[in-house]
Chains A and B, each alone.
Chain A
């Protein structure tokens, strides 16, 4: 009786999982298809922005090419924040795309409203729904008495459906990125073909078509008087237009002058017509503007992989809950616990575990902030970093910087021993000792910059006062890093002292008394009682301080900006510059993983060492 009921439950679960998996596959497929149209329109808007840079192109040309409505919107100031331009989403409205046309007078947004091909996925409601649903179901299940009511499968199914929706949305986003990469690769290939053909005096259009771009056409423009009055500038404008970076600029020799031709990637019309036959081979003084298009029907593999992954997850979720459902009490407890964990777990997944994977993903791509194409490059970023001297010098600087930790620990231990047993002195001294560690790093960096000022800083004045030479603390490559180490030690000493005090208080007093009876001197007592007794504390402080010092940023940012001559260029500052100054996110992500590996190795060694020591003790 009981066994048969269980069998039925198992069959029910299996059916539910199957149905959910099938539903998800459909959702993913739909999402991916919608995504292509979406992306085509966005590319189109970029192309339009570039086209407007070319004289003689009219709105109707662009509209025809893009198969959508094209509008010019003058750039306005944002009334809420003067000086800021309004955001492009406000110009374009939902589902449309807008790009700034910089060289138009006055500068304007180009807004393209597509014929409604792609729909955005309701991201926020989906994300918000998940924890809410988890909580509600946890609550509902926890309230029900022990024989499981038939509502259980329904609740789980609801939960699974939400999960699926989330997975589908993610997969759709991924398929976007993948299609974009495919398109970029296609375009690069076609352009290369066109370029080679042109150099050989052949027809670039048919070469590009042969390279797998059925919509490639070549328009011959008259030079130089009519359209290309300023060919270099026009070419440069096209080349620097965001979104067109994948289309390299090429130069054409015509009439003894060099002209820069822009190659424009163009999205195809929705119903592809037959390829247009293009003009005769190029005359020496004709400039070619190559319009390339690519077929966006490539089958996205990422959604399929995501479906497989999600199915596996779903099945394991069901397998996890199945044994519990036989024991409703423990199912109820589990769900209640997950209700408690939901807020923290949700935030950790979204803002820690998710980003960790995402960061790994970024590090495998050539990822530029303003370039929508992120071609997959495998381990190329890591390979390049191995040969990047400036990055390894940043790692070396970071490692050297970390050497201030033992120094600070020695001082902190001395202070802890000094204040041992006298609570009043500690309480009195605490503010002075502690303030450097807890207060504004930037303010501290500024005041130290002033203290260590070459000509007028207090430190150098004091040195001169006693007849010594002043030291270029922050302005010489030989001393700058040492100065930062000194300041950092000054900052962490108070915190370390308090931890040591706690550790000292945990060592039994009798041990000292016994040692004294045995005739041990203060040094021997320190060597044989205090140090072994503090072993765990010492290692804890060492590990946390080393991890902290590997991440130093504020001091460097304010005091030296990595200088002089890169002497204080530490890892996090190097990564910051790579990502937010040079906008090379792929590289920066790879750097951060290398840093992680270094930190992890250091920590692991510490722990191994610690464990080895404890085993012997």
Chain B
């Protein structure tokens, strides 16, 4: 389908783009086809597609370990992180963008500076703290350290700064306090940025591997990422099972992305153009 504006090189362009997409998608396609093969087929034939799709791989793999529980844990973890990060980032972002207090910009720079700190440096003390609190292998241990995101604060501040002042001024004239103005004027206007932040927080929490790996011990507390890694080492050579588990892990994020693309792209662009 040639695009009239793109000029004469369009067919070559589209060909290149399709090739690039195929390369990018190939591992996922291979994951899907392998997940439907029998274990024998994987090692013997050179086939790309399974002869008879073996759908039973899915229920078998997903019940070999408590994947339902893993998903529930991931969901609880990600939901709590989203709620926490939205609450902390909107309030702090609003303060940095709209409220005037001494040392504001220096404090903001200090917050931003933490984005340069490699996460691994605070992993050890965080682990010792969570251990001292007795929160290892619990939801509160998993969640509590992840409730604030400096990136989120940055995003919300940038967004609040782009909003016009008039509505807030009107509310102030009506005698509303800062909290009320934030809640009934600022926050509703910032909904698109909140959506972007929530989406990124959710994905980051869902993808988070190292921290859940450290603070969870029992099977009952594992999140999907840790569950897949454990599943991988248990079923080392059963590639169809592993691929089935992989498909199930990738699918929710792929679907989420399909329906929320524009928030993603906006987030990345807001981040890129400072």
Interface secondary structure of A, over-half rule: helix
B171 interface residue (CB < 8 Å to A): no
User: When the two chains form their complex, are residues B118 and A358 in contact, meaning their CB atoms are under 8 A apart?
Assistant: no
Choose among B17, B117, B120 the residue that contacts A425 (Cβ–Cβ < 8 A).
B17
Q: How far is the CA of A97 from the CA of B57 in the complex (A)?
A: 49
Residues of B within 8 A of A429 (CB): 17, 20-21
Known contacts A341-B91, A425-B17, A430-B261; is A444 also within 8 Å of B101 by CB? no
Task: Tell me, rounded to whole Å, the shortest Cβ–Cβ distance linking B168 to chain A.
Answer: 14
The stretch of A282-290, A294-302, A592-600 that contacts the partner chain: A592-600
A345 interface residue (CB < 8 Å to B): yes
B129 interface residue (CB < 8 Å to A): yes
User: When the two chains form their complex, are residues B272 and A359 in contact, meaning their CB atoms are under 8 A apart?
Assistant: no
A-B contact count (CB 8 A): 283
The stretch of A222-230, A263-271, A553-561 that contacts the partner chain: A553-561
Residues of B within 8 A of A603 (CB): 116
Residues of B within 8 A of A447 (CB): 27-28, 30-31, 243, 246
User: When the two chains form their complex, are residues A434 and B264 in contact, meaning their CB atoms are under 8 A apart?
Assistant: yes
Choose among B99, B118, B210 the residue that contacts A596 (Cβ–Cβ < 8 A).
B118
Number of interface residues of A (CB under 8 A): 101
Task: Tell me, rounded to whole Å, the shortest Cβ–Cβ distance linking B28 to chain A.
Answer: 7
B196-218 CB mask vs A (1 if < 8 Å, else 0) is 00000001001101100110001
Task: List which A430-476 residues lie within 8 A (CB) of chain B.
Answer: 430-436, 438-444, 446-451, 456, 458, 461, 465
Residues of A within 8 A of B16 (CB): 418
Residues of A within 8 A of B95 (CB): 337-338, 340-341
Residues of B within 8 A of A324 (CB): 102
Residues of A within 8 A of B102 (CB): 320, 324, 334
Interface secondary structure of B, over-half rule: helix
A72-93 CB mask vs B (1 if < 8 Å, else 0) is 0000000001001001010000
B119-134 CB mask vs A (1 if < 8 Å, else 0) is 1111111111100001
A17-50 CB mask vs B (1 if < 8 Å, else 0) is 0000000000000000000000000000000000
- Nearest 9 A-B pairs (CB), nearest first? A355-B125, A344-B92, A340-B95, A358-B125, A443-B246, A337-B99, A499-B272, A355-B122, A502-B269
Listed in ascending order, the chain A residues whose CB lies under 8 Å from chain B are 81, 84, 87, 89, 139, 142-143, 320, 324, 330, 333-334, 336-341, 343-345, 347-348, 351-356, 358-359, 362, 415, 418-419, 421-422, 424-425, 427, 429-436, 438-444, 446-451, 456, 458, 461, 465, 490, 493-495, 498-499, 502-503, 506, 536-537, 540-541, 547, 550-551, 553-554, 557-558, 571-572, 575-576, 579-580, 585, 588-589, 592-593, 595-596, 599-600, 603
Listed in ascending order, the chain B residues whose CB lies under 8 Å from chain A are 1, 3, 5-6, 13-14, 16-17, 20-25, 27-28, 30-31, 34, 42-43, 46, 87-89, 91-92, 94-95, 99-102, 104, 107, 111, 114, 116-129, 134, 144-145, 147-148, 150, 153, 177-179, 182, 203, 206-207, 209-210, 213-214, 218, 220, 224-226, 228-229, 232, 239, 242-243, 245-246, 249-250, 253-254, 257-258, 261, 264-265, 268-269, 271-274
